[in-house]
């Protein structure tokens, strides 16, 4: 699963620690999600969407769907 977490965070000038605090998770968790090494649970994905004031699909995208759309 792809995500725009790093870009969205940079737009708001938030560090990983800032975002982690807003999400009630560890900084390591934010880093793992950003780098695509960990896909968050649905409740955490909703929390992320709420923090950025966006819909989940505006932040996360399914790789297979994204690849198919590109083709």
The CB density around residue 43, as the number of other CB atoms within 10 Å, is: 8
* Contact present, 39 and 28 (Cβ < 8 Å): no
Does 38 interact with another protein (rule: CB under 8 A)? yes
Does 61 interact with another protein (rule: CB under 8 A)? no
Q: What's the min distance (Å) between Cβ of 3 and another protein?
A: 14
Q: Residue 55 and residue 37: Cα distance in Å, rounded?
A: 21
* Contact present, 1 and 56 (Cβ < 8 Å): no
By rule CB under 8 A, what count of residues binds another protein?
19
Among 33, 52, 59, 60, binds another protein (CB under 8 A): 33
Binding site for another protein (CB under 8 A): 17, 20-29, 31-33, 37-38, 40-41, 44
């Amino acid at each position: 699963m792809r995500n725009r977490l790093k870009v969205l965070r940079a737009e708001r000038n938030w560090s990983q620690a800032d975002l982690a605090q807003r999400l009630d998770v560890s900084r390591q968790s934010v880093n793992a999600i950003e780098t695509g090494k960990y896909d968050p649970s649905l409740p955490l994905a909703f929390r992320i969407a709420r923090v950025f004031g966006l819909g989940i699909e505006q932040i996360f995208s399914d790789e297979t769907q994204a690849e198919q759309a590109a083709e």
